Structures are given as structure tokens and as C-alpha cells.
Homo-oligomer: A and B are copies of this chain.
Amino acid sequence: MSKMQKMSKMRLSKNLNDKLAKIQTLNFKSTQVNDEKIVKKISNNESFQSSMKNTLSVAYAVGLFPIKGIRENQAIALSYNKLSVPSFLSLFTILTLLWAAILSLVHTIRSLLKVNSGKSGGFANATAGGIFYSNAFVSSCIFRKLASTWPNIMIQWEKHEKDAYPYPKLRARTRAIAIIILILALTEHMLSIGINTPTCRANILLGNSTLRECLKEYCLRSHSFIFNAVQYNMALGLFIFYVSKVATFAWNFQDLFLILTCSGLVAKYRNINNKILKTDIAASNIKDWRFMRELYTNCSELARDFSSMLGPLVLLSFTNNLYFICLQMLNGLAPSLQGPLHNAYFFGSFGFMVGRLICVALAAAAVPIEARRSLPFLRCCPASTYCLEIQRLGFQLTHDEVGLTGMGFFTVNRNFMLGVAGAVATYEVVLLQFDMGQTPPPTLTE
């Protein structure tokens, strides 16, 4: 049912966009000056697509974002083709992740059925792999879907960019965010590899350990559930190594993508707000305001399209992050006597995941805040220049529900973050009590 609904929604929002395009052609024809050259030159450097291209290229290479012309600066050069090489690469990635997800889910179900037999920490160990690979699989499907709508939405994005001329400076900021997050993710994953190869680590310092052995140790320790069914061999080991890297990248990329997209939207809104706030309100006329209202309406339209497009990703990202944060907290609170590297990994990984979630939430929560920023300014409009357009803009700013939602189940804003924090705290305490109830205190057995 939900799918059917979504489909009809997408179909209609397409109609709507076509219509919008028509309207805007009618309205803006007069304002289109021959500044296309300048625009093109600048957009090469500061357009949203251009600022995203490096990050998206990485995803493209991994097989998550199958778009032709991903390294172009302009939306018009992008295209999605089901029968192209990147599309087949993406299909291969999806199938690989599906295979890993099925194997790990089988392990999860088997372990859960055995949970009552008494081993502590069973729940966490049983589900972690299944959730991790399922998340990667769903994520790769969502990104394939996203890629198919990306060229159109980027054209939409660039359409009215020249009306709000001084472009937001996105490049530097986007690059900084992407590099920081990817480096942190890499560090976290290196630590995770380090933990899963204790023997190898010890031997490598002594010089008597080969990469081959390290790989074997890593695979057997971290993906033991696969080798319950199959025998280990070098090729399988390499394949598993590759799959786990792809899944880890998807795990990080879904959050990074959300952060960058939200930053872009905020920059677009900020651009319009700056235009509005720079207006000499006492000398403005109805035409100025009509222009600005239309700018704002277009931007909101774009934000709404993004919101409905990113809905499944937001839901996936929050569910996944909350699961791993709860898991890591449980692991962290349980006594672990396995040396400083483990401690570093646990604290580092936990901090990284909490930080990543907070970044996603703050970035998404910034959209509605920025969208509403010029509302007080409109209220200060003197009676002499107050007009219907200001009234319409004011009404729209007051009532418009801009902002990312997890498919309508929740809207991401700061208040929601407080709620999530409270819920995590509550569940953590309950889970801890549960855990303490299950493990008998060691003093009683002595």
C-alpha cells in the first residue's frame, strides 16, 4: 500500500514539476538576461553538482551511485541509464550485499533461537552482522533509486540558480565535511580491523606474518558466520574483504550524503534569505516581493522533492545509527578486559557514531530553521510598502512544513533530537537491567 501511494506521489510530483517549469517560463522570461556565460563559468566552480562530484565519484567507483557523467560540473551532462556500465556495477554491488545480508540474517535467526541456552551478550553478537549487511543492502538499493532521479533534480536545482545570483560558497565546505568524515570513518574501520587480527598484529612487529595469514585471521574472526557453512579459501577471503569494505562505505556514505545534501539546501535557502534581508524594505515594491516569493516557492518545491526523495534514507540512517549506538553502549558498559586497543576502539567508535548521528540530525534540522529565518524581517515591513505578495510570503513562511522526515514517521528537528536522546537513555537503562538480570553475579557461584 505504502509503495503504491509513493508511486502515485512521485508521478504527481513530476506533473507538478512540469507545471512549475511551465509557470516559471511564463513568469521569469522577462528577468532572464544574457548572463549565461558568467553563470556557466561560476557554476562550474560553485554549483551544487560540482561541489558534490568528488564525493559522488567515490560512491560511483564503489558501485553505489550509477550515473554517467558524475564528474561533470553541470546537471545537463548527467544521465542515468539502466543498461550502462555503472548500472551493471551497481547491480553487482547490490547482489553481493544481498548475498552477505542473507548469510548473516540466517546466522542471526539461528543464534536467536539458541539465545535461551544461556550465553551472555548473545543478542548483540547475533544481530550485529545481520543488521550491518541488511542496512548496506537496503542502502545500495535506495542509492540506485536516488541515482535514477538525480539528473532531473539537479537540473531543477540549477534552473533558478541564476535568479539568486551570488552563489553560495559550497565547494570548500562540502569538501571539508566529506574529507573529515571519510578520514574518521577510515580510522574507525582500521581500528576495527586491528582488533580482529590480534595474532597478526603481534607477529607483524616480529616480521613473521604474511598478509595472507592476516586476511585469513580477519575473515575467520569477523565473519565467522559465513564459515559455519563454507570452507575458507583465499579467493573467498578476498571477496569477503571486498564486500565488508563496500558495506562499511555504504554505512558511512548514507550519513555523509544526508549531511551534504542538507548543507546544500541550507545554503540555497540562506542565499534567498540574504537577498530578502538585503532588500530596502521601505523602498521596495510589489514586483520585488513577487520575485522573492517566487524564488522562495521554487526553493521550497526543491526542498520538498528532496525531502520525499531522501525519506527512506533518513529512516534507514536513523534506525541503523540508533541500533549501533545502543549496541556499542551495551558493549562499552559491560566490563571488557582486552587491553588499550579495545578501549580505544570502543570509545572511538562510539564517539564517531554519536557524532555522525548528531551531524546528520543537526544538518537536517538546519533546513527548517533557515527556511523560516526571514519571517521576522517580513513582520517589520512598514504599512506603506505592505502588499499582497508580502502577505502571501509571510503566510507561506509561517505554515510551510519544510524539513526532512523519515517517510513521514518523524520530522527531523532539534526537539526530535532531544526525544531521541531521551529514548536512547531509557532503552539503555532497561537493556542494562535486562543484561544484569540474565548474567548471574559471579560471587554467587563461588
Query: Residues of B contacting A186 with CB < 8 Å?
Result: none
Beta-carbon nearest neighbor of A287 in chain B: B383
Complex contact B282–A26 (CB within 8 A): yes
Query: Residues of B contacting A304 with CB < 8 Å?
Result: 376
Is A377 at the interface (CB under 8 A from chain B)? yes
* A 276-295 binary contact with B (CB < 8 Å = 1; else 0): 01100110001000100010
Complex contact A270–B8 (CB within 8 A): yes
Those of A283-326 within 8 Å (CB) of chain B: 286, 290, 294, 297, 300-301, 304
Instruction: Tell me the complex Cα distance, A106–B300, Å.
Output: 48
A363-B1, A380-B19, A422-B423 are contacts. A408–B415 as well, Cβ < 8 Å?
Answer: yes
Other-chain residue from B12, B23, B398, B399 in contact with A373 (beta carbon distance below 8 A): B12
Query: Residues of B contacting A386 with CB < 8 Å?
Result: 388, 392
Query: Residues of B contacting A5 with CB < 8 Å?
Result: 266, 362, 366, 369-370
Complex contact A380–B20 (CB within 8 A): yes
Q: What class of interface size applies to chain A in its complex with B?
A: 35 or more
Query: Residues of B contacting A377 with CB < 8 Å?
Result: 16, 19
Distance of A145 from chain B, by nearest CB (Å): 20
Name the segment of A41-49, A60-68, A193-201, A432-440 touching the other chain.
A432-440
Query: Residues of B contacting A290 with CB < 8 Å?
Result: 383
* Identical chains in the assembly: 4
Is A29 at the interface (CB under 8 A from chain B)? no
Those of A419-435 within 8 Å (CB) of chain B: 422-423, 425-427, 429-430, 433-434
Is A379 at the interface (CB under 8 A from chain B)? yes
Instruction: Tell me the complex Cα distance, A202–B422, Å.
Output: 46
Is A359 at the interface (CB under 8 A from chain B)? yes
Complex contact A433–B436 (CB within 8 A): no
Query: Residues of B contacting A2 with CB < 8 Å?
Result: 362
* A 14-41 binary contact with B (CB < 8 Å = 1; else 0): 0110011011001100000000000000
Is A340 at the interface (CB under 8 A from chain B)? no
Other-chain residue from B12, B19, B396 in contact with A281 (beta carbon distance below 8 A): B19
Is A9 at the interface (CB under 8 A from chain B)? yes
Query: Residues of B contacting A417 with CB < 8 Å?
Result: 409
Instruction: Tell me the complex Cα distance, A379–B393, Å.
Output: 9
Q: What 9 A-B pairs come out closest when comparing CB atoms? A: A408-B414, A409-B418, A409-B414, A398-B399, A26-B282, A290-B383, A2-B362, A297-B379, A429-B430
Chain A residues close to B by CB (< 8 Å): 1-2, 5, 8-9, 12, 15-16, 19-20, 22-23, 26-27, 116, 263, 266, 270, 273-274, 277-278, 281-282, 286, 290, 294, 297, 300-301, 304, 335, 359, 362-363, 365-366, 369-370, 373, 376-377, 379-380, 382-383, 386, 388-389, 392, 394-396, 398-400, 407-411, 413-415, 417-418, 422-423, 425-427, 429-430, 433-434, 436-437
* Beyond A9-B373, A15-B278, A300-B379, 6 additional pairs, beta carbon < 8 A: A19-B380, A20-B380, A22-B282, A304-B376, A369-B408, A410-B418
